[in-house]
Each structure stands twice: as structure tokens, then as C-alpha cells.
Structure 1
Amino acid sequence: MRQYQSSLVLVLLLLFLGAAPSVLLAASAGRSIASRTVFGQERITLKTSNTPPVVLSVEVVDLALRPEGGLRRTLPENGGLLWLYPQVTDQPLEARSNGVPVSVALFDRNGVILQILELEPCNTRCPRLFPKVAYRGRLEVAGGWFAQHGIGVGSQIEAASIRALKASAE
């Protein structure tokens, strides 16, 4: 019964936030709200104080469901991956099997960017990069994308999945 009530609250919250129908189906089925197989694409907005907002299409991945998640071999020019963690983490990142340069923004539960890392392609003996911050999620885009769009530490990522993640933690 408790799971049913939680799912109902989540569905109502997502409806209020304007979530896509596939997200509502996932929530009503009692699945994690950011499941890779259910969420698919989401449009997010990145805001900073000195540049206009930037809209980006991302694939949302919930690491509570996919703990082995890692970097992709390719990323679309105006797209990326939004990784959500079940709790705060400081786990290192690797660019293993990554065929292209990748920029990674680490963010807190409110979507505020805490650190940006640049990862170069690597196939063997890849270095592990240890973040200087504990983070709740990461946004991966093509190398140099954040700098090209004026996005930096302190910028805000706005996304329905981040709002729902924050609401479920409260």
C-alpha cells in the first residue's frame, strides 16, 4: 500500500511539473522516475547569470537501476547524458572505451553545477579522475561544449527528472 501511495504522489508531482507521458507511465508502474529504459529523452535547460539559457536534449539514466553506467563512445553535438545517482557520491570517473572527448558537469541535488571535468579519449590504461566535490548527478556532453556555451561552476541545470529526484528525497 505504501508503494502505491508513493507512486501516486510521484505521478501527481510529475503531472504538475509537466512530465512526458512515458515518465508518467514509469511512475505509475512504481519504477524509478529516471529509468533509462523508460525516460528516454528529456529536454533540460542550463542557466547562467551571464549568458542566455541553453536547451539541451539528454538521455536520462538512473544509476539506482543501472549501477554499471559509464561514459558513451559518442555523444550528439547538441545532446548528452544525464546520470542521476540514488545518493550523493564522490566516485571517480574514467574515460575507458570513450571514443571522443567528453565534458562532464557534476551537480548537486538542486541541479547546481559544482565541477566540470574534461575527459580525453582512452582505450587502455585510462586514468581515473577524482572529483573535488561530492555530487548527486552528472551531465555528459561533447568535449568543450560547456565552455562554448558559457556554462560553468554555479550554473543551474533545470530538468523534470532533477526536480522529481529532489522531491523524492525530501
Structure 2
Amino acid sequence: MAKFKWLLIGVVVALGTYGYFAATQLRLESTPPPLQLRQRVLYVTTPSQTYELVVEVAETPEQQMRGLMYRTELAEDHGMVFLFPRATDVGFWMKNTKIPLSIAFFDQNGRIVRILDMDPCTLPPEESDRCPVYAPGLAYVGALEVNQGWFAARGVKEGDSISFGPWK
């Protein structure tokens, strides 16, 4: 009877441990629903042309932290713009971001001060704190994320400008 009791306790502990790790893994792999963000028209102007994008606007800290995480695609002339109440120099990372992106940091006048390409972080969830940080190295008040290569394909460079159109 004592052997049966210890066997039963062992089975319960094993099942509990398995359940805990299975639930933890499921939580790490689960994809939260996309945030519902306001959309706005945004213009990127070069010396020779103006391009129109539809962007989701990340205004709150929660929206900015989530960004384009978990998305598997981004329409060609769409993006996400991050707006900050004051100048910052904080970097962006690609944790849980599945698509390669380009980012343009801009100043209070809408002038693009830095453009960077960012690749998805492919580290496992338990190592995602080691994902690279993409920082512009100077102060900015906003950042525009688009599909990687969007700026280069259109000849958009540092010094070009970003302005806002109507809300969608």
C-alpha cells in the first residue's frame, strides 16, 4: 500500500510538472489579438515626389511596446507610426516581430534624421531579451515603420520629410 501511495504521489507530481511547463510554453507561443489603433494618412516627401501611406498610430506606451509584434504581413503602402510627447533617443527592437522592417526616425519638424533596416529576432522566447536594439543615435519625436526596403525603393533619404494627412 505504501508503494502505491508513493507511486500515486509521483504520478501527480509528474503530471503537475508537465502541465506547468506545457502551459508556460503555450503562453509563450500564443499570439495576442492585434491592437485596435487609429489610422491616419501620412506623406513621405522627397525632392522629386510625395508618397502616401496609411499608418496605424501607436500613441500610448502599451501600443508602442507592442508595435508590429506578431504580424505576419504588412500591406505595401501601410505602416505604423510611433509618436512621442517629447524628444527621445530610445531604440526599437524586433522581439516577436515576424516581418523585416525599415524605420525612419523624424524630428519635431518632420525631417527624417535616420533610416535603419531591422530584421526579425529569431531567438527562442526564453532568450528574446538578447534581441538587438536598433537606435538612431540621436533625438527624435516620431518613428515610421514600413516593410523593409520601402524607403530605399523610393529613394527616400535622411533629410526628406514626413507630414500627416487626415485620420481614416
TM-score by length of 1: 0.66
Larger radius of gyration: 2
Partner AA of 1:107 in structure 2: F
Find the partner of 1:46 among 44, 47, 50: 44
Report if the CA contact (8 A) 1:104-1:117 is conserved. Answer: yes
Q: Give unmatched runs, 5+ long, in structure 2.
A: 1-34, 124-129
What's the secondary structure of 2:136's corresponding residue?
coil
Correspondences of 1:12-51 after superposition (within 5 Å): 40-49=38-47, 51=48
**CA root-mean-square deviation:** 2.0
- In 2 relative to 1, CA 160–53 (structure 1 residues): closer, same or farther, beyond 3 Å? closer
Post-superposition, which runs of at least 4 consecutive aligned residues in structure 1 deviate over 6 A?
Answer: none
Shift of 1:63: 3.3
Q: Give unmatched runs, 5+ long, in structure 1.
A: 1-35, 162-170
**CA shift digits 1:23-44 (9 cap, x unpaired):** xxxxxxxxxxxxx85x622111
Correspondences of 1:11-160 after superposition (within 5 Å): 40-49=38-47, 51-63=48-60, 66=63, 68-72=65-69, 73=71, 74-124=73-123, 125-160=130-165
TM-score by length of 2: 0.66
What's the secondary structure of 1:46's corresponding residue?
strand
Shift of 1:64: 5.5
**CA shift digits 1:5-33 (9 cap, x unpaired):** xxxxxxxxxxxxxxxxxxxxxxxxxxxxx
Identity %: 36
- In 2 relative to 1, CA 128–64 (structure 1 residues): closer, same or farther, beyond 3 Å? closer
